[in-house]
Structures are given as C-alpha cells and as structure tokens.
Amino acid sequence: MGCLVVASDPIGIAFDSVRHGRAGVKHFYRLFGSNGLVSSERLRMGFMASICSNEGPFCHSSAILNIGVDFETGSGHCSENRPARNTSMIEVAVYDTKPYDREFLTVAGGKMVRWHFHEFRLSAQTALAASGSQAVCVFVNDVVDAACVSELAKLGVQLIALRCAGFNNVDLKAAKARNIPVVRVPAYSPHAVAEHAVALLLTLSRRTHRAYNRVRELNFSLNGLVGTNVNGKTVGVVGTGKIGKIAAQIFRGFDATVLAYDPFPSPDWAVQHGVRYTALTELLATSDIVTLHVPLLPETNQLINARSLAEMKRGVLLINTSRGKLIETKALIHALKSGQVGGVALDVYEEEEGIFFEDLSGQVLQDDQLSRLLTFPNVLITSHQAFLTKEGLSEIARVTVENILKLEYGGPFAEGTIL
C-alpha cells in the first residue's frame, strides 16, 4: 500500500490511500487544539488512521496505518501496520453491579466499551435489559440457566462474560447449543483469596475480632482470648489449583506441616515447597486446620458433610473461601454444637444468594441456618470478599474487557478463559 501525506496547516492533515486491491477514501484528522500552535522543530508524530473500503455505503474492510509527519517540510510517510475493525463502541449489559464494579470496569473499558450497569441480577425474567447489547457481564449469583440463555439468544447477545472464576450458575450446554461463548476470569488474583483465607484463620485462632470489639468498649481484659499458634500445626489444603498452592506456601512460611489433596496433584511443586500429597481421608483425620480451595462440581457438592466432619480431628478449624455449597450447613452446625469442630471461618455460604453483597442491616434475617451460625462465638463470617482487592478488581476488569473486545477485533479469547 502506498500513501501520500500532506501537512496543509497545523490544524489538520489530509491523506489519501493509493489503491491497493481496493479504493481508498479521504480522512481528515485534527492534530491540535484551536490555537494551532506547533514547534518549528522537525516533529515526527505517530498516528493511527483507518483507511476503509468504499465498495458500497458502508466500510467493509480497513487497515491501520502508522503515519509520520514532518511539519517543517510538510512531507511525511505512512505504512500499513495491522488489520482493524470498525471502532464503534461495544454495548455490554452488566448485571448485579456494585460501585466498585462500575469503577474498575469503566476504567478498563475506556472509550471502547459502553457499559449498561444494572443492580438487579440476570435471569430469564431480566434478560430483556440486555436488548441492544452484544455481550452480558455477570457475577456469581446471576442465574444463567437454559431459559435465560434462550432469551439472550433472541436478543442477539454474542458473549456471556463472567467476572469471576466460578461458573456453576451458567448452563454451558445451553450456551453452546445457541453458539454463545462463555468466558470467565479463572485467576483474577489467587493471592487475594489465599491471603484472605489465612487472614480469616489468624483472626479466628487469635480471636482478634473479639479483642477489637472489646477494646473499643474500653474492655482491656484478656480473659477468653487465649489463641493457638499456626506454627507446628498440620494444615490440610483441599485443592491445589493456583489459590490452593499459594495458601499452602503461605502456611509453610509459618513452619506448619502442610498436607494436600487434589485429584490432579502437582508432585514437582509439592517437593519444591515441602508439601505432602495424601488421601482426603488421611488429610481430614490428621489436620488441625482444613482449608478448602476446590471448585463447585457435582462431585464436590457438600464435600464436607456429616460423615467427613466426623472423620476430622476433634477441635479442627475449618476455612472455606471457595464455594458455599462445599459444606453442608446443617451438619456443620451440629459439629459445632458437639465440639467436633473447634471453629469455622467462612467467606462463602451454602445459601448466600440474596444475602451476601446486600445490606440487610435494617431487616430480620430470614435464613435460620445462617442466623444460627452467627450466634457461635467461634464462627467468623465475611460476605464473599476474598476477591475484593484493588489488584483483584483490576485484573477482573482487564481480562473481562480483553475478552469482550474480541467481539469487535476478532482473535482467540484470553488463554484459559473460555468454557
């Protein structure tokens, strides 16, 4: 492709593409503000300009050019860099949004994505809000079942983008049947989740949450605040994906003995970090602390139940920052009452939908099991906030936007994100 660049004045330039298998059209790009001031030095500036085909009323193809301009001589050059698509903004309907979602997605999307933020959740009944959108962006409690997918397909939605790692709330078969790809953010910030798991354990084992409340009431007594060390304890890590591995490495930093269970072990990693893989039954029976880092699958649903709780070491501390349905809540309450479980720290809950992420402080909590859990002095609960760091939110937004832009510019989705 050839190109002639003419710098007619400091306000704008006009350039023509020379026919190269297609006709060119003239584009005008404004370079400076209304004052039109430029330096007398030889300025070379790079510009991106799309040269579109004029074969019909709409542009059908384009090329991105690198343009160099010399304002002293009025001459310049350009060369084709890479293919590009129409630069119109992509419309995306975002469900179950909070202020932090809007903040980070808006920054990541820049001028390439037009977000339509909705506080309500996605379901077959609310899918109509995605009308005119090319993609929907959903979270853990949105219900993207077969009926919802059908409605999205009718609206012409081309992508379902999960801004989370879990995908048990999406009917993947229905999406595939409708040719709607589903993407997720598999590792937005494994350090954030692993660190939160350790923070929960330390708070629980050292009773710092209770101490904090006491001191604010000017109660400086230490009675009832005796804790336990992590050092020297046996920690059982169930699931050694990215988050589980990082959690195990942190616990090794406490000089704890770390056991691990995973149906797909990583023996080289284990040797490197002094972690020993074992059967789940042995892990449960010998661990002082058990932390869960597995996805919710049919085979992991209620992995921790009455039977497995009975197999655990008496007085065990149980941590769950993965999925609420990994634990059978009724059985957990019974184990807490009997003393079989010495303490529990949860960032997720079996029936958290409609409760977590919401302010219910002015209401009566209708979930009897959660209400019962909150009465135990040795139970610590946070509302699914393990992911909630600046780093985690930035990565979620970056990967989500990267995948959404594939609708416009083509190419494969980000590695490991397609389901």
Instruction: State whether residue 196 is helix, strand or coil.
Output: helix
Distance CA 355, CA 383 (A): 9
Q: 201: pLDDT confidence band, cut at 50, 70 and 90?
A: very high
pTM beyond 0.75: the answer is no
Residue count (the chain): 419
Whether the per-residue pLDDT at 65 is higher than 50: the answer is no
| For residues 220-240, average pLDDT | 95
Structure token pair of residue 374: 């909150």
| For residues 127-152, average pLDDT | 95
Domain boundaries, the chain: 3-83, 90-188+391-409, 190-381
Q: The domain 190-381: what is its CATH number?
A: 3.40.50.720
pLDDT attached to residue 210: 93
Distance CA 338, CA 183 (A): 43
8 Å CB contact between 254 and 308: no
Selected catalytic residue, list 207, 323, 350, 395: 323
Selected catalytic residue, list 184, 350, 384, 395: 384
pLDDT attached to residue 46: 34
Question: Which is it for the CA torsion 98, 151, 409, 30, positive or negative?
Answer: negative
pLDDT attached to residue 286: 97
Q: In sequence order, what are the residues at sequence separation of 6 or more whose Cβ sits closer than 8 angstroms to the Cβ of residue 359?
A: none
More confident: 8 or 361: 361
Instruction: Give tens-digit pLDDT for 327-350.
Output: 999 999 999 999 999 999 999 998
Whether the per-residue pLDDT at 5 is higher than 50: the answer is no
User: Of 190, 185, 188, whose CA–CA distance to 404 is shortest?
Assistant: 185
- Spell out the SS3 assignment of 256-294: CEEEEECCCCCHHHHHHHCEEECCHHHHHHHCCEEEECC
User: Of 266, 269, 320, 262, whose CA–CA distance to 290 is shortest?
Assistant: 320
Q: 87: pLDDT confidence band, cut at 50, 70 and 90?
A: low
User: Of 81, 99, 17, 95, whose CA–CA distance to 54 is shortest?
Assistant: 17
Distance CA 250, CA 199 (A): 11
Q: The domain 90-188+391-409: what is its CATH number?
A: 3.40.50.720
Q: In sequence order, what are the residues at sequence separation of 6 or more whose Cβ sits closer than 8 angstroms to the Cβ of residue 417?
A: 183, 184, 185, 186, 399, 403
DSSP annotation of 412 reads P
pLDDT attached to residue 93: 96
Lowest mean pLDDT among 2-16, 270-284, 328-342: 2-16
Known catalytic residue at 384: yes
More confident: 25 or 70: 70
Q: 203: pLDDT confidence band, cut at 50, 70 and 90?
A: very high
Q: 353: pLDDT confidence band, cut at 50, 70 and 90?
A: confident
pLDDT attached to residue 194: 97
Selected catalytic residue, list 151, 328, 352, 395: 352
pLDDT attached to residue 90: 93
For the chain, how big is the Rg over CA atoms in Å?
28
Q: 168: pLDDT confidence band, cut at 50, 70 and 90?
A: confident
Structure token pair of residue 378: 């040795």
| For residues 29-52, average pLDDT | 33
pLDDT attached to residue 58: 29
Whether the per-residue pLDDT at 320 is higher than 50: the answer is yes
Distance CA 276, CA 121 (A): 42
Whether the per-residue pLDDT at 269 is higher than 50: the answer is yes
Q: 409: pLDDT confidence band, cut at 50, 70 and 90?
A: confident
| For residues 274-278, average pLDDT | 98
| For residues 282-309, average pLDDT | 96
pLDDT attached to residue 88: 76
pLDDT attached to residue 214: 94
| For residues 167-183, average pLDDT | 94
Report the greatest alpha carbon distance in the chain.
88
